[in-house]
Amino acid sequence: MLAFLARRLLIAVPTIFFVSIIIFGLQQLLPGDPALALAGEDRDPNVIAYFHKKYHLDKPFPVRYLYWIDDAAHGDLGQSLRNQMPVGALVLQKLPVTLELGAVAFLIALLIGIPSGILSAVKAGTALDYAANLFALWGLSTPNFWLGIMLILLVSVDLGWLPASGFVPPTENLAENLRTIIMPAFVLGNAVAAVIMRHTRSAMLQVLNSDYVRTARAKGLSERTVVLHHSLRNALIPVITLGALEFGQLLSGAVLTEQVFTIPGFGKLIVDAVFNRDYAVVQGVVLVTATIYILLNICADFAYFLVNPRLRS
Amino acid sequence: MKWITRIAMAAVLAAALASGTSAKTLRIGLAEDPDLLDPTLARTFVGRIVFASLCDKLFDISPDLKVVPQLATGYEWSADNKALTLKLRQGVVFQDGEPFNAEAVKFSIERHLTLQGSTRKSEINAIQSIDVLDERTVRLNLAKPFAPLLAALTDRAGMIVSPKAAKEEGKDFALHPVCAGPFKFVERVAQDRIVLEKFDKYWNKDNVHIDRIEYRPIIDNAVRVANLQSGSLDLIERVAPTDLPALRKDPKLQTAEISSLAYQGITINIANGPKAQNPLGQDPRVREAFDLAIDRGAIPQVVFNGEFTPGNQWDPVGNPYYVKEFPVHARNLEKAKALLKEAGHPDLVVNLMVPTTQEDQQGAQVLQAMVKEAGIDMRIQSVEFATSLDRAHRGDFEAWYIGWSGRTDPDGNLYSFVACKAPLNDGNYCNPEVDKALEESRSTNDPAARYQAYKKAAEILIEKDRPIIYLFQRKWIYGMTKALAGFTPYPDGLVRVVGVDLK
């Protein structure tokens, strides 16, 4: 098992290196001179020239890449061009926010998705199944930003139950933290809940029709034991794979959600950085995100081991 | 058990926070996230809103645009207009306890002039040397007369920082700014909030009634408004005119507004590269026809609910330097068509580069419909803002729908845009006559003489050459809770918290 893990980690290294080249290359395709975007309204030529020199913008692409990757390999992701804060510090400041948002959203997605998936599989063809499917279709087809604005108008402006936007760190005030995070997490988790529900349903249907389940039933086990103990465990394997991928999706979905709810997380960091042509931040954030994504997939592989004894041999 | 402990802890924490909120906190929603909080390096309009509470300036402006004392109590120009002597306020200290004096003023202005990357240098580079005459008196010696200097000192160039903090912090001063304003810096979480707290040794502390300010950048207009409506914010700036009716109807809220110095216009590529080679760029008659085809009341009416005002110059109608001899003209389609025919372009095609914001796009569409009636086929090229800056700079445009946030002195709204080779002159327009008039306006401090100089410039810029076609003037619109009292809007759009109270 250790050999397997080591192999996966080794493959990750060249992958991340390759990703870094793509990130850097794609960024160069962004039109617009960052020095101009940085120079502010007055666009003083001396200031523009100063930025060109300071951020090596006057050097050719490969040279700039080497400067960056050299620093990044030493743990220095550079400095935000806009507010001079170190990118590493910004990432550390914003990442927990998005991870919390993602985790709560994921939890909401699981809490809605798995039970409704099981229910609609067990009660396949009934009104309950159709209702669950309808809910899934709604979740999949509702855009994040629209649902976000609608919820703000309903829950915050009209009912006054929750703050409209913003974020309070859990270390500062846990109750306020939950109040600020619950609405965006629901918006974000909503679509994922739908995907998980659909996959749980189809996996469950498959398992429920398999021979060993029939055997279990024939043994006279209660339906509850058959469904939750014998079937669910096997049905969950594809759902876990999907879960890991969907968690990555959640992180990218957070880009929009954070924008709507003004949550100072990773997504907001990158969107603002793109508009301000804050190259150092864009590169740093995308590199970290890609690394997380790769690591999550390794975690998913590892999770199969724990769930499926056959893979362990 | 764990759960119970956690819930109990949260309750205790919430109670502790609730009891601690008797301090008055003013929560302000900003339309953007400010850049560097260092007056020498700062570049954005929104940053100036934060500076208004953090850093006092030598002078301030009054709502009717007069220069009024702040850290300096008075000034005097020398007879040849080449030296400005400033008298400084007594009993002022910086937020780190250091004394404010003539040496500190000299240090800050020299820092503006010499720090690498300074965005202030171009505003005050007429200053050649600074003499400290005594503890409270300082003299700025100029290379040549420069009337806009005083206005520059009412803005970031007039902000004085603590020399001790600036020396100690070096490059990182922006992360922990120390000035002599009514509120001192507490913390900043990028893209989330900037927190300031009352400075108890502020020279005018009797007029400061707020204990703490939280600035929260919320870019989306609708979300900013929702935060105000739900009580998460106390004041928001740059309310969209289309949101005004909803705010006015809300019994918990009030609004304030004032004509701004910000204008919207169309910059035409006259001589910046091959893209300038088109009828609009080359033939003043075509530009006149384009100008005549515009109904200046229509864009403010259609896009901005009639809240913004039509304009045709770099300063708003009613400004002391608005050239009254050239008022906003009426639309004249017949003459526009005749001019196009005379110029030999009855089927003119114009490509207008427009930033992708919703209001810019709508404004351009209204414009498109209007000039169509004169036979001009105006095509909108939607370009993301930072990209449009780059294209304009390189001359990759024919005409550009672009605005300016406005400066107190007319020089700040005109010189950089139309003087030969000036930094914001993207169309590369150059007319020695205009340059001469602009130099004249800079060289005298007599308002009547300056007006005459601007009149000369206007005659060429508005009536003949039209390198920029001015369209309308914006308003600064604020939404706030009814609990807020004493807020006065200013034409520069900044939020001044001195005098403001929360009931």
Residue A85 to residue B175, Cβ atoms within 8 A: yes
Q: Which residues of B touch A173 (CB under 8 A)?
A: 10, 13-14, 17
Biggest CA-to-CA distance, chain A: 84
Mean pLDDT (chain B) is 92
* Cross-chain CB nearest to A47 (options B117, B175, B385): B117
Prediction ipTM score: 0.78
Which residue among A43, A84, A164 places its CB closest to the CB of B230? A164
Collect the ranges in chain A with pLDDT lower than 50: none
Question: pLDDT digits over A112-145, tens only?
Answer: 888 888 888 888 888 888 888 888 888 888 888 8
Task: Report percent pLDDT > 90 for chain B.
Answer: 83
Q: Do B219 and A259 touch (CB under 8 A)?
A: yes
> Rounded mean pLDDT of B178-194?
93
CA neighbor of A273 nearest in space, from A49, A23, A6, A58? A23
Alpha-carbon distance A181 to nearest alpha carbon in chain B (angstroms)? 14
A166/B190 CB distance under 8 A: no
| Span between the terminal Cα atoms of chain B, in Å | 43
Q: Residue B30's pLDDT is what?
A: 95
* Other CB atoms within 10 Å distance of the CB of residue B325: 9
Do A260 and B175 count as a contact with CB atoms less than 8 A apart? no
Q: What is the pLDDT of residue B18?
A: 45
CB count within 10 Å of CB A217 equals: 15
Buried b / exposed e over A201-213, threshold 16 CB at 10 Å, is bbbbbebbeeeeb
Per-residue pLDDT for B273 more than 80? yes
**Residue B142: is its pLDDT beyond 90?**
yes
Lowest mean pLDDT among A124-138, B71-85, B258-272: A124-138
Q: What is the dihedral of CA B334, B338, B341, B347, to 10 degrees?
A: -20
d(CA B57, CA B128): 20
* pLDDT exceeds 70 at position B196: yes
Q: Does A83 reach chain B within 8 Å, measured CB to CB?
A: yes
**Phi (first) and psi of residue B363, to 5 degrees:** -60, -45
A24-38, B58-72, B462-476, range with the lowest pLDDT: A24-38
**Measured at the alpha carbon of residue A60, what is the angle toward residues A56 and A66, in degrees to the nearest 5?**
70
Confidence of residue B22 (pLDDT cuts 50, 70, 90): low
pLDDT of residue A133: 85
Entry pTM: 0.85
Are B214 and B197 contacting, i.e. CB atoms less than 8 angstroms apart?
A: no
> What pLDDT shows up at residue B210?
96
**Which helix or strand (DSSP H or E) is residue B395 part of?**
none
Of the candidates A166, A261, A269, which has its C-beta nearest B216's C-beta?
A: A166
How many Å apart are CA B388 and CA B269, to the nearest integer? 13
SS (H, E, C) B382-446: EECHHHHHHHHHHCCCCEEEEEECCCCCCHHHHHHHHCCCCCCCCCCCCCHHHHHHHHHHHHCCC
3-state secondary structure of A123: coil
pLDDT at A167: 87
Using the predicted structure, report yes or no on whether residue B287 has a pLDDT greater than 50.
yes
Q: How far apart are CA A199 and CA B358, in angstroms?
A: 39
The answer to whether B150 and B116 are in contact (CB under 8 A) is no
Return phi, psi of residue B144, to 5°: -150, 160
Taking only the tens place, the pLDDT of each residue in B199-226 is 999 999 999 999 999 999 998 888 899 9
pLDDT of B16 above 50: no
What is residue A6's predicted lDDT score, i.e. its pLDDT?
Answer: 84
Whether B413 shows a pLDDT value over 70: the answer reads yes
- Asked if the Cβ–Cβ distance from A47 to B229 is below 8 Å, we say no
Q: How many CB atoms neighbour CB B313 within 10 A?
A: 26
Distance from CA of B117 to the nearest CA of A (A): 5
- Residues A136 and B257: their CA atoms lie apart, in Å, by 47
pLDDT of residue A313: 57
Which residues of chain B make contact with A174, given a CB cutoff of 8 A? 6, 9-10, 13
Cα separation, A41 vs B389, whole angstroms: 10
Is A38–B404 a contact, with Cβ atoms under 8 angstroms apart?
no
Which of B30, B38, B228, B230 is best to mutate for the A interface (most A CBs within 10 A)?
B230
Q: What is the distance between the alpha carbons of residues B313 and A104, in angstroms, rounded to a whole number?
A: 54
Query: pLDDT digit string (tens) for B369-383?
Result: 999 999 999 999 999
What chain B residue is nearest to A151 in terms of C-alpha separation?
B226
Q: Does A149 touch chain B (CB under 8 A)?
A: yes
